[in-house]
Amino acid sequence: MKTLQFRQAIAEAMSEEMRRDESIYLMGEEVAEYNGAYKASKGMLDEFGPDRVIDTPISELGFSGIGVGSTLTGNRPIIEFMTFNFSLVGIDQIISNAAKIRQMSGGQFSCPIVFRGPTGSAGQLGATHSQALESWFANCPGLKVVVPSNPADAKGLLKSAIRDNDPVIFMESEQMYGDKGEVPEGDYTIPLGVADIRREGADVTIVSFGKIIKEADKAADELAKEGISCEIIDLRTVRPMDYDAILNSVKKTNRLVILEEAWPFGNVATEITFHVQNNAFDYLDAPIQKINTADTPAPYSPVLLAEWLPNKDDVINAVKKVLYK
């Protein structure tokens, strides 16, 4: 094992795959000369040159479309958005083209493309730069959606995403790029659609993903001091979702809390709630609790932003509610 920052794990995954397969290239704003807006492509221009690490104008619709089109001629692009908030400018290329090429060509063409970049809030960036759009993309058949929470998962999942023959939305966090963690030496992948039981427990299941799962970790540590044992499941992949991991845990603990940084209406937690009550209703000893942001655009004020975001106290309160404490 070695210790890497999240951004280094991303850069390693892309570089290793680009050495393995010359059809892979990276395209986006500031990915080349500036080494990436968050330094997640540091050194890649020097190694692979300007034909494979390509700076673009501020035109997400344009370079998303170039990426999608290039898959039809045998390429496997990685398209970086400076933030997934900006992907909305190019979302027609993702939803109407990338996600539908395989079906609309009768299986004659696949679309092996990765769209990657940060999602969710990252401090005082205002409402338009603080949106978590995982559920938007996960709602669309034909797309896979990955949201890692640590460097080791980021590297293994990104390598799998790049090798996948269908479009993958790979969502990171500006607040995680500096996070450090142990990463296996050598080549490895983590399959898409397999959750990680991050912490085993007996009293309640907490399901989460991405950077907000840290709040679940903090809550579980505090609850353990009170004798409450939490099982934490890191989804890692939102779609396809590892429903079996969730159901098996709920059948053991009989209680479920879902933590997600997203607006409360029609999100990933809503989908999990339906699936569990539909397939494990008789195992539940309490109603499912889901924890989300407030149902408003993200505020700029640091005081309001702290209230808007889910936190460990919200998790503790939800756990105690399902335990009737």
Residues with active-site annotation? 60, 129
128 close to 183: Cβ distance less than 8 angstroms: no
Q: What would the two tokens of residue 228 be?
A: 């409450």
Please state, in angstroms and as integers, the Cα–Cα distance from residue 146 to each residue in 2, 48, 188, 229, 275, following that order: 23, 26, 17, 28, 19
By CB atoms closer than 10 A (0-12, 13-18, 19+), residue 22 is exposed
209 close to 238: Cβ distance less than 8 angstroms: yes
- Max distance between CA atoms of the chain, in angstroms, equals 60
The label of the residue with tokens 């993309």 reads 137
> What stretches of the chain adopt beta strand conformation (E)?
2-5, 24-28, 53-55, 76-80, 114-118, 144-146, 168-172, 180-183, 196-199, 204-208, 230-234, 237-239, 256-259, 289-291
The label of the residue with tokens 């190019």 reads 90
Q: Which alpha helices (DSSP H) does 164-266 contain, by range?
A: 213-224, 243-253
β-strand pairing of 180-183 with 2-5: antiparallel
* Dist. CA 255–CA 127, nearest whole Å: 33
56 close to 90: Cβ distance less than 8 angstroms: no
Counted residue by residue, the chain has a size of 325
* Dist. CA 286–CA 157, nearest whole Å: 34
Q: What would the two tokens of residue 26 be?
A: 């990276």
